[in-house]
Structure 1
Amino acid sequence: MSRETLQLRLLKTNLAFFALLLLGTTWQLWTPQTRFPQIPLFEWVSALPAGIDWLTLTIMLTTAGCLLLFSVVPLCLRKPAPEPGVNWQRICGLLFLVAYVVSVVFDQHRLQPWTYQFALGLLLLTSLTPARAIRLLRLFVISIYVYSALSKCDASFVQTLGRQLAEGLFSSIGISTAFWSPKTLGWIAATFPMGELLVAAGLFFRRTRKPALVAAIGMHVCLMLAIGPWGLNHYQGVLIWNVYFIIQDLLLFMRNPTLDRPRAVKDDAQLEAERLAPARVPGIERVPLLLVWLAILAPLFEPTGYFDHWPAWGLYASRHDRVVLMIDEEARAELPASLQPFVDPPQPLSTWCRVRVERWSLAELGAPLYPQARFQLGVAIGVGRMLESQSPAAEVTPRIRILFEGAADRWTGKRKVSEYTGLKEIDALSDRFWLNTLPRPVAQAD
């Protein structure tokens, strides 16, 4: 078996296994649930039967499971090239992507970065020749590091999430930051995106790949410490995704003598693999190539507002615009019991309580809140409709308010904040967005 074939099978095994694991961990997100508002990508989708969610989830689980078997069985049997069931693997990779796209159309919350990465990765690894798939996957992973680092290069990250990550990291190893100044924590936070950029640059060049790989693994370990049970205690899906990244980086960037030798030199195993490999149809390869290159280049449009933050790998970034949901203190008892624990007490001399929607999402779905403002607006409208159905008087006495916080200034971290009170005012904000902000009616999700 050639080293490229072995590398490809290990990559597919890793990707399919973690896809199944994370789909299982967040299964509530992929079903027609009523625990949390579902915001379709287009308004007309709400008229479609919610049972399609079960179909897309079944397809994703089945295709990922089949690809895992297609990779594990030959590895256990040490079966040489060519790959078994090449055409079936192509079909599985394509079906996983199509099912994922359909599921996102039914709920934007499902545009989780790990699923987006897995859908493209499975298509790439099943549709291209091993050498081309591995090279392009390397470039794709490096682009994730680059965009993730650039999204954190602003004052907002240094002042907020960056400091929290620094505090979580040091507390996980028993070092208290209680008496550290904000300036000290800010300088530490500023090193995070710089380190990520250096890792990306190091992985790109072959001569610096080995130390960059060590740094990348260290970076993921530090992040796991910061957000793990001993640090900020975030949800387990992030920890699982970081474990996936460590294994993926080892498989992609660890020195491979066979792959690093000049292209003109080929051993007998490679020549035999090429002789036995099935004929490739150029059209089949062009489609995944185009999709992956679009995924690599499209994040460049994120600063313009025409591309979402998570598909642009704005991971743990805090600069994006957002919606803060607040309800009247008297309306708290009318909320679902599952939401009430995530409502803060009102500030002094105020009757408005902040709703921690991000914590509600983690508790109910096991997934973080989608950071796009239009989605968060849709969640606010969904909560407002819950209150309206419980108390028609809410139309006269508003019980819901939002603070629409614009994107933070890159240098100062300041935001422009607008306030809207009452469901009627909040509903009118939907006209600002091209894509849908209205939640799927609960009755159709039963």
Structure 2
Amino acid sequence: MSRETLQLRLLKTNLGIFALTLLGTTWQLWIPQTRFPQIPLFEWVSALPAGIDWLTFGIMLATAGGLLLFSLVPILLKRSEQEPAAGWQRSCGLLFLSAYTVSVLFDQHRLQPWTYQFALGLLVLTCLKPPRAIRLMRLFVISIYLYSAFSKCDASFVQTLGRQLAEGLFSAVGISTAFWSPKTLGWIAATFPVGELLVAAGLFFRRTRKPALVAAIGMHVCLMLAIGPWGLNHYRGVLIWNIYFIIQDLLLFTANQTLDCPRTAKTEAQISEESLSPGRATVLERVPLLLVWLAILAPLLEPTGYFDHWPAWGLYASRHDRVVLLVNEQARAQLPASLQPFVDPPQPLSPWCRVRVERWSLAELGAPLYPQARFQLGVAIGVGRLLQQLPETEASPRIKLLFEGAANRWTGKRNVSEYTGLKEIEALSDRFWLNTVPRPLTLSD
């Protein structure tokens, strides 16, 4: 088989293995559940039966598993150029994307960046011819690095998450940062987006691709050290996703084809097969090609507020607006036992306890909290309505919310607004175009 065919099959095999692994790791996120608030994308979706989640989850597992078999078996049997069941593979790619889209309609929390990437990746690898598919996958991956780098270019990242990652990285290699100044850690944190930006630029050009690939692998290894059990001990799914990225980069960027290879060295037919212009694609390839181009360009809208942070590859970015949920100390005791471990004690001279929603999400669903303020507001409304169902024991409000606006890019400062009581908090829903109303939540003790 040709190098392109083998490369395409290995990419599909890699994607299928890690899609199944991460879906299995986060299985509770994809099924009907009341362990954590579910926030549909549109309010009318709440009227639909939650059992549809089982269907979409089953389709995602079946199609990912089917594509893995369609790709792995020909490699093991050393089959020739002809792709086995090409029509079925195309159907699997489209079904995976369709099932994923429906599942996101039922819960915005499912718009995890790795699943979003896998859904688009499967579409590219199954619906486009090998030369065009590989070339578009390269461009898609480069765009992820590019947008991720830009999302960290602000004071907020340097002052918060960037410093934490630096501390986790040095801790993993046995170097204590206890006596390092915040300024020193800040300068180290500032190198992270610069390095990611250089990786994106280096992978785009043929002459710099080899050192950029080495740098990309080193970057992923450093991130795994920083957030792994030797460092900050964060969400294990991120470790799995980084391993996927390393293998994917090796498969994509070690072959001879390049984004900028001179066209004079190719025939007109080869140029047409590799072209990323929808006008040069066949009818069957045109729609998938347009969808992926839309996904590549849509993150440009993120600063305007018309596109979410994670689909715009705002990974480990901290500038976005966010919500802090607080409950009254007396109401804390009334919360179900499953939620109480994630409620902090009150600060001195304050009756309010912070609910660590991000830890709650990881513990119950195995997935990090969706960073959009809209979604976090929905979670707060869900907890507020849960408290409202409990018998009254005090006259004071049971819930309070701090709405922290986006951090200033140069200073990291935020405007913070305070809302007390469920009625005030629910009124914030009018700020958003998409839904913030959760499905009914009934936590068990």
Q: TM-score, normalised by structure 1?
A: 0.94
Structure 2 vs 1, CA of residues 306 and 260 (structure 1 numbering), >3 Å: closer, same or farther?
closer
2-structure distance, mates of 1:258, 1:155: 35
Offset at residue 256 of structure 1 (A): 2.9
2-structure distance, mates of 1:433, 1:380: 15
1-structure distance, mates of 2:84, 2:243: 28
Check if 1:101 corresponds to 2:90: no
Check if 1:47 corresponds to 2:25: no
Counterpart in the other structure of 1:77: 77
2-structure distance, mates of 1:70, 1:259: 28
Per-residue displacement from partner, 1:303-350 (whole Å, max 9, x unpaired)?
000000000000000000000000011111211212111111111100
Counterpart in the other structure of 1:87: 87
Counterpart in the other structure of 2:418: 419
2-structure distance, mates of 1:144, 1:281: 24
Structure 2 vs 1, CA of residues 200 and 405 (structure 1 numbering), >3 Å: closer, same or farther?
same
1-structure distance, mates of 2:318, 2:137: 27
2-structure distance, mates of 1:76, 1:266: 31
Q: Is the 8 A contact 1:13 1:72 kept in 2?
A: yes
Offset at residue 108 of structure 1 (A): 0.1
Per-residue displacement from partner, 1:148-187 (whole Å, max 9, x unpaired)?
0000000000000000000000000000000000000000
Aligned ranges 1:334-353 → 2 under 5 Å: 334-353=334-353
1-structure distance, mates of 2:129, 2:138: 14
Give the residue type in structure 2 aligned to 1:404: F
Offset at residue 263 of structure 1 (A): 6.8
Offset at residue 295 of structure 1 (A): 0.5
1-structure distance, mates of 2:63, 2:295: 22
Which runs of no fewer than 5 residues in structure 2 stay unpaired?
A: 274-279
Give the residue type in structure 1 aligned to 2:322: R
2-structure distance, mates of 1:175, 1:393: 51
Check if 1:300 corresponds to 2:303: no
Partner-residue secondary structure (3-state), 2:407: coil
Aligned ranges 1:14-413 → 2 under 5 Å: 14-256=14-256, 282-392=282-392, 396-413=395-412
Q: Is the 8 A contact 2:386 2:442 kept in 1?
A: no
Structure 2 vs 1, CA of residues 224 and 281 (structure 1 numbering), >3 Å: closer, same or farther?
closer
RMSD value, Cα = 2.2
Offset at residue 260 of structure 1 (A): 9.6
Offset at residue 442 of structure 1 (A): 3.5
2-structure distance, mates of 1:265, 1:18: 36
Per-residue displacement from partner, 1:91-117 (whole Å, max 9, x unpaired)?
000000000000000000000000000
Q: Is the 8 A contact 1:31 1:53 kept in 2?
A: yes
2-structure distance, mates of 1:184, 1:410: 20
2-structure distance, mates of 1:218, 1:336: 44
Offset at residue 391 of structure 1 (A): 2.6
2-structure distance, mates of 1:259, 1:35: 46
1-structure distance, mates of 2:328, 2:127: 54
Offset at residue 265 of structure 1 (A): 7.1
Counterpart in the other structure of 2:10: 10
2-structure distance, mates of 1:352, 1:147: 37
Structure 2 vs 1, CA of residues 46 and 337 (structure 1 numbering), >3 Å: closer, same or farther?
same
Q: Is the 8 A contact 1:210 1:255 kept in 2?
A: no
Report sequence identity in percent.
83
Offset at residue 390 of structure 1 (A): 1.2
Partner-residue secondary structure (3-state), 1:206: coil
2-structure distance, mates of 1:258, 1:96: 29
Give the residue type in structure 2 aligned to 1:12: K
Structure 2 vs 1, CA of residues 303 and 259 (structure 1 numbering), >3 Å: closer, same or farther?
closer
Counterpart in the other structure of 2:433: 434
Partner-residue secondary structure (3-state), 2:229: coil
Q: Is the 8 A contact 1:3 1:259 kept in 2?
A: no
Q: Is the 8 A contact 2:386 2:441 kept in 1?
A: no
Q: TM-score, normalised by structure 2?
A: 0.94
Q: Is the 8 A contact 1:168 1:231 kept in 2?
A: yes
Per-residue displacement from partner, 1:74-98 (whole Å, max 9, x unpaired)?
0000001111111100000000000
Give the residue type in structure 2 aligned to 1:10: L
Offset at residue 403 of structure 1 (A): 0.2
Q: What is the aligned length?
A: 435
Structure 2 vs 1, CA of residues 301 and 262 (structure 1 numbering), >3 Å: closer, same or farther?
closer
Offset at residue 441 of structure 1 (A): 1.7
2-structure distance, mates of 1:202, 1:13: 26
Give the residue type in structure 1 aligned to 2:22: L
Partner-residue secondary structure (3-state), 1:440: coil
Offset at residue 258 of structure 1 (A): 10
Q: Is the 8 A contact 1:3 1:258 kept in 2?
A: no
2-structure distance, mates of 1:259, 1:10: 20
Q: Is the 8 A contact 1:20 1:61 kept in 2?
A: yes
